[in-house]
Homo-oligomer: A and B are copies of this chain.
Amino acid sequence: MHFMDPKAEGWTLGELAQLVGGRLEGPAHFRVSRPVRADSNDPNGIAFAENQAFADAAAGVGALIVSDEIDAHGRPAIRVTQPRLAFGRLLHFAHRPIPIMEGIHPAAQIDPRAWVDQTASIGPFVVIEKDARVGARAKVHAGAYIGEACVVGEDTIVYPGVVLMQDVRIGDRCILHANCVLGADGFGFVWDGKQRVKVPQVGGVVLGDDVEVGAGTCIDRSTCGETVVGDGTKLDNMVQVAHNVTIGTSVVIAAHTSIAGSVRVGNRVVMGGQTAIADHRSVGDDIMLGGRTGVMQDLTKSGEYFGLPAQDVRESLRQMLAIKELPALLKRVKALEAQVAQMEDKE
């Protein structure tokens, strides 16, 4: 099938040069439709090139954003001092918000005891339960479920299929990506000798301001009190945050990371994908965990960690390299043992 470009009109190079504050090189009326990567072959795209190699590889794009010293090979260009920064601005211009009608869609189901700000937008097939609150300019997209006594902060965006179960409070300017689940029961059972008996999970979830939650990510409600995610923290897709966890501010957590029950994570922590933190452990401020690190003990000292168990990244990489020599080492030790035995025999 042929793809109809939704933004076929795009911008003229002249418009863009003005928008990013650059010097036009080429026809002002030349038209581009979207920002692209330098190595794409998109004649309607505009890319940036930070060095000559990128500019050389950009033969297929319609136009380039480059600094003065770069040879653009005669292609239409916008000359700026910081191409990356200018391209970042272009991304902002190119951003189209996910569409949503103003006001409350007639096909939404809103409990009369819920409160929705008159400047908020509520999409079709959304359910909002009693005692829930949706703040000013918030957008709740199609099919989302805002449970009992949940709060959606001002300017917060809730994408399709998101579920907030009960007692989940989201701060302002947050983004909840599609199909994430906040406030499902924590995973708590006691063995009564015959079976697992469920421990009621009656706490909530609290997210600060400017938090982003990835698609499919799950943040469980606390047993009591709250599971907490601090201001400015960003969670990637399919991250697991178990019950009773507390995560600090400006933390970044990549996909498939598992944070077990009652863990405490400090501020400005960064976690690579598939990281795991065992239950009841704590990770201090300004700690960086490489991908697939497994935290089995408390980490307090800031710095970079890696491996299972988590160790100083240099230590861990040194061990990783040493393991490659292990099969040979076994042979070397065997040889040494034979040599020494022989030498002892001679004595």
Q: CB within 8 Å of B: which of A311-328?
A: 311, 315, 318-320, 322-327
Contact mask A122-165 → B, CB, 8 Å, 1/0?
Answer: 01110101110101000001110101110101100001110101
A255 nearest CB neighbor, chain B only? B240
User: A248 in the interface, Cβ–Cβ < 8 Å?
Assistant: no
User: A273 in the interface, Cβ–Cβ < 8 Å?
Assistant: yes
A26 to chain B, nearest CB (A): 20
A127 nearest CB neighbor, chain B only? B142
With contact pairs A98-B148, A214-B187, A258-B256 given, residues A322 and B318 touching in the complex (Cβ less than 8 Å): no
User: A83 in the interface, Cβ–Cβ < 8 Å?
Assistant: no
User: A282 in the interface, Cβ–Cβ < 8 Å?
Assistant: no
How far is it, in angstroms, between the C-alpha of A200 and the C-alpha of B292 when the chains are bound?
27
Query: CB distance B6 to A215 under 8 Å?
Result: no
How far is it, in angstroms, between the C-alpha of A212 and the C-alpha of B187 when the chains are bound?
9
User: A21 in the interface, Cβ–Cβ < 8 Å?
Assistant: no
Query: CB distance A237 to B237 under 8 Å?
Result: no
A223 nearest CB neighbor, chain B only? B91
Given contacts A96-B148, A105-B109, 6 further A-B contacts (CB under 8 A): A88-B199, A145-B161, A160-B163, A179-B181, A311-B324, A322-B323
Chain A residues within 8 Å of B, Cβ to Cβ = 1, 3-4, 6, 34-37, 40, 42, 45, 88, 91-92, 94-96, 98-99, 105, 107, 109, 111, 123-125, 127, 129-131, 133, 135, 141-143, 145, 147-149, 151, 153-154, 159-161, 163, 165-167, 169, 172, 175, 177-179, 181, 184-185, 187, 189-190, 195-196, 198-202, 210, 212, 214-216, 218, 220, 222-225, 232, 234, 236-238, 240, 242, 244, 250, 252, 254-256, 258, 260, 273-274, 276, 278, 291-292, 294, 308-309, 311, 315, 318-320, 322-327, 329-330, 332-333, 336-337, 339-340, 343-344, 346-347
